[in-house]
Chain A
Amino acid sequence: MTKVLLIGSPNSGKSLLFNRLTGLSQKVANFPGITVDVATGKLQGMDDVDLVDFPGTYSLKAISAEEKVAVAQFEKALEDNEVEHVLCLIDATRLEKSLFFTLQVIRECEQHGKAVTVLANMIDVLEANNLSIDLPALEAAIHTRVIPISARSGKGLADIAEQIRAARSAGAQARRPHLVDTPDELLRGTAHQLAQRLGPRGDVLVRTQNRLDAFFLHSVTGGFAFFGIMYLLFQSIFTWSTPAMDAIEGSLAWMADGIVPLIGNSILQDFTADALFSGIGAFLVFVPQIFVLTFVIGLLEDSGYMARATLICHKPLRYFGLTGKSFVPMLSGVACAIPGIYAARAVDSPRKRLLTYMAIPLMPCSARLPVYALLIAAFIPAETFLGGLVGWQGLAMFGIYFFGMFIALAITGFVSRARKDAFDDLPFVLELPPYRLPGIKPLLRNAFNRAKHFVVKAGKIIFAVTLVVWVLGYFPNYGADLGQSWLGHLGRVIEPLFAPLGLDWRYGVAILTSFLAREVFVGTLGTIFGIEGAEENMVPLVQQIQGSDLTIASGLALLVFFAIALQCVSTMAILAKESRSGTLALKMFGAYFVLAYAVAFLVYQLASAF
């Protein structure tokens, strides 16, 4: 097995090229710093060659711990005997940015006796604007083959394969070293001169970009555009995913109706109905939202707009210890924390990424919606005024949504001030990508992969927890009486914990099971109150709750509790994986539980006093 490395500066098109050459689907986006892990795939048409996609770095001189990891990985790969060839990808429209890095890579390859080829990407953009770079002169100057390609249109890809084959038969020794001992300072000077001499002439690209920026970054038009785009984004999440969510719910119900009666064993029958269809189904319903959100945010990212939104939000977020780069992750978190956590990869400063992770689970995600809807319907008067335009219930919903965001910012603001020097920080520098027409196919594929990843990864954990909750609730009396089940006994054990909030054991159990996913709270209460299908039809459950001796103070306490607590195994699983630290997820769970409890207690006491 031999390996070919693919390396280049951020946003130069490595992942798109990698996908093209291997047939895989790494995330591609018009935003620097998307790829964080090394990805490996077989070269199509050459089964014995692996292609390795590296995260983009601006230089081989790393300044953050993460870059150090990436650079160390690259250097280790160069020591590897299986590695024969290095492909260095540059953005032909922005030679200046890539050439210094390219020269560093060539030098390293010479030192390690590896073949190296430079790929000048985005040739399609140059051609479309009647621009060119002097490739023969560049080849002569850097003593290295330069192949013009377009990862978008596919131009030049065959030449790459041919070059890899040629280099294999020639062997790396064919190359005469030129740069082996050249220090960085000299390389930098050379790179600068070359870019000036050979790079594309003219300002066309920069001018187009600047005209659009003058609009999107303008204090007035930019602000309107920002809010308009965000409004459309949220509309699309709800309108585009609702039919799919309904379809999933419908087909699950249809399947359950068809399958459950066919099962002979009654325990198995109950298990299939309650745990498999209700439990797993409750989380599958959110898959369309993850898909639509990933796709729409991908559209905005690939068009280049997200980088502008990042600028607009930077100053306000910085006040709370975050950065403009936290905006996209937090925005994603409003529908579901999981895509938000994935998106946090693009926050380059480790310190600010950690703070971003802390903020995301407090964004008002859609799983909180059924809980809020139930509690608000039960406790807040339906009275409206101003001709139905404003109502207490609507205000309460609005208030609890903003409460979550407020707490998120309060926490990051506090933590960043309390731990001023903890963790490496990087100043805000963002290479502004050009505006582009988004590539729809890769975006659909990426959205599909995210959804699949969510189902597979989170599904395992959710299955396990569902199983446990179901067994506890079902035995020892076979689902006849939840109150006498192990879960019921457990409920009475934890009752003292929730008594200070004015909640009895039934709510305690519902909170406990809602750790699986927040919306399970509604289902569990439904089961407890002996009502089937509480999630579909809330009115009877609302009346039951109103009829139980729960006070409005407890209702408010519950609302606040759900706004803060990290009640979601899937989020914790993905958080642990992405942050590469199981303890972060556990610490956050603990801290947010305590905070949620404390604030809920405060609210309960205050509300009871009036």
Chain B
Amino acid sequence: MEMKPPPEATRTLWSLRRGEHCAITGYDDLLAEAYKVRLMEFGFYPGETVSCLQSPGFGAPKVYRVNNTIYSLDDEIADHILVESTPPRD
């Protein structure tokens, strides 16, 4: 597998702070295909808006909202989801 470092401007879902919104742009190459599919089934698919509801301290998994469902993801997976910032919805 090719391991290009992501371009400077790319942010990952993990970098979101509490209350921030973003749109998913894709996944990086390190994420196994099966997980990509599963993430899409959860609702994390490209184009979708995700917001970070909670970002507990001490590296605990963060809490994200996609549509009406709330998931918590740890950095091992959220760091492979690429996002771009979007203006807040409300």
Q: Does the CB pair B67–A96 fall under 8 Å?
A: yes
User: In the complex where A188-B45, A311-B56 touch, is A427 in contact with B71 (Cβ < 8 A)?
Assistant: no
User: In the complex where A311-B56, A429-B71 touch, is A217 in contact with B63 (Cβ < 8 A)?
Assistant: yes
Interface size class of A (residues with CB under 8 A): 35 or more
In the assembled complex, how far is the CB of residue B44 from the closest CB belonging to chain A, in whole angstroms? 9
Q: Does the CB pair B34–A63 fall under 8 Å?
A: yes
User: In the complex where A100-B41, A217-B63 touch, is A429 in contact with B57 (Cβ < 8 A)?
Assistant: no
Q: Does the CB pair B68–A200 fall under 8 Å?
A: yes
A277-315, CB under 8 A of B: which get 1 and which 0?
000000000000000000000000000000000011011
- Rounded to whole angstroms, the CA-CA distance of A324 and B58 in the bound complex is 13
- Give the residue name and chain of the A residue nearest to B55 (CB): A217
Q: Which residues of B contact A195 (CB under 8 A)?
A: 67
- Rounded to whole angstroms, the CA-CA distance of A311 and B56 in the bound complex is 9
User: In the complex where A213-B54, A311-B56, A315-B58 touch, is A205 in contact with B68 (Cβ < 8 A)?
Assistant: yes
- Give the residue name and chain of the A residue nearest to B47 (CB): A192
Select B69's contact among A59, A96, A213, beta carbons within 8 Å. A96
User: In the complex where A59-B38, A63-B37 touch, is A318 in contact with B74 (Cβ < 8 A)?
Assistant: yes
Select A315's contact among B35, B38, B59, beta carbons within 8 Å. B59
Q: Does the CB pair B72–A311 fall under 8 Å?
A: yes
Q: Which residues of A contact B58 (CB under 8 A)?
A: 219, 315
A206-228, CB under 8 A of B: which get 1 and which 0?
10011001100111001000000
Q: Does the CB pair A63–B38 fall under 8 Å?
A: yes
- B2 near A: Cβ within 8 Å? no
Tell me the chain B residues, 28-68 only, with Cβ under 8 Å from chain A: 34-35, 37-43, 45, 53-54, 56-61, 63, 65-68
- Rounded to whole angstroms, the CA-CA distance of A196 and B66 in the bound complex is 12
Select A97's contact among B34, B42, B63, beta carbons within 8 Å. B42
Q: Which residues of B contact A199 (CB under 8 A)?
A: 67-68
Count, chain B residues at interface, CB 8 A: 31
Q: Does the CB pair B76–A428 fall under 8 Å?
A: yes
**A-B interface contact total, Cβ < 8 Å:** 108
Binding site of A, secondary structure by majority: helix, strand, loop or mixed? helix
- Rounded to whole angstroms, the CA-CA distance of A318 and B72 in the bound complex is 15
Instruction: Kindly name the residue among B45, B65, B69 whose own CB sees the greatest number of chain A CB atoms within 10 A.
Output: B69
- A453 near B: Cβ within 8 Å? no
- Give the residue name and chain of the B residue nearest to A184 (CB): B37
A410-444, CB under 8 A of B: which get 1 and which 0?
00000000000000000111111000000000000
Q: Which residues of A contact B56 (CB under 8 A)?
A: 217-219, 222, 311-312
- Rounded to whole angstroms, the CA-CA distance of A205 and B69 in the bound complex is 10
Q: Which residues of A contact B45 (CB under 8 A)?
A: 188, 192
- Give the residue name and chain of the A residue nearest to B34 (CB): A63
- Rounded to whole angstroms, the CA-CA distance of A483 and B24 in the bound complex is 74
- A93 near B: Cβ within 8 Å? yes
- A58 near B: Cβ within 8 Å? yes
- Rounded to whole angstroms, the CA-CA distance of A93 and B39 in the bound complex is 20
Question: What 7 pairs across the A-B complex have the smallest Cβ distances?
Answer: A219-B57, A96-B67, A427-B77, A63-B34, A428-B74, A315-B59, A432-B70
A-side interface residues toward B, CB under 8 Å?
Answer: 58-59, 61, 63, 93-97, 100-101, 188, 192, 195-196, 199-200, 205-206, 209-210, 213-214, 217-219, 222, 311-312, 314-315, 318, 324, 427-432
The 19 sampled A-B contact pairs (Cβ below 8 Å) are A58-B41, A59-B37, A59-B38, A97-B69, A188-B40, A188-B41, A192-B45, A199-B67, A205-B68, A210-B53, A210-B70, A217-B56, A219-B58, A311-B63, A311-B72, A314-B60, A318-B74, A429-B72, A431-B42
